[in-house]
Amino acid sequence: MKFERIKPGMVLYDVHSHRMGNTTMRTMGCWEVHVVSVDAEKRTARVHWNVKFNPEETYHEFQLKRLRERKPKMVRTAMGGSRLARRGEELP
């Protein structure tokens, strides 16, 4: 996501791989990131990703570039994890 397109009030999505508990198995996770304010001069933004429990954080441009504008489609795997849907894949 380009920094210039980010506006206060947007909801972006952080998608990355993480471990499933205390195992070596991995799964993809998707979290909502709410943009509170944008500082164009410093190229940073104040965001929070768990409204109830986490305080606002300052994300720099390189962190904001990793976020996605649309929520990706996820597919459940046989072992209980999830992965990103492939292009053209039908979802139930």
Residue 14 belongs to a domain: yes
User: Smallest Cα–Cα separation from 35: which of 47, 43, 51?
Assistant: 47
Residue 77 belongs to a domain: no
Residue 79 belongs to a domain: no
Those residues with Cβ within 8 angstroms of residue 67's Cβ, 6 or more apart along the chain or in another chain: 1, 12, 13, 14, 33
For the chain, the domain total comes to 1
Radius of gyration of the chain (CA): 15
Question: Exposed (0-12), middle (13-18) or buried (19+): which is 73, by Cβ within 10 Å?
Answer: exposed
Say which CATH number the domain at 50 has. 2.30.30
Residue 86 belongs to a domain: no
Those residues with Cβ within 8 angstroms of residue 4's Cβ, 6 or more apart along the chain or in another chain: none
pLDDT in tens, the chain (92 residues): 899 999 999 999 999 999 999 999 999 999 999 999 999 999 999 999 887 888 999 999 999 999 999 999 999 999 889 999 998 887 66
Residue 39 lies in domain: 3-70
Residue 11 belongs to a domain: yes
C-alpha–C-alpha distance, residues 50 and 38, integer Å: 18
Residue 78 belongs to a domain: no
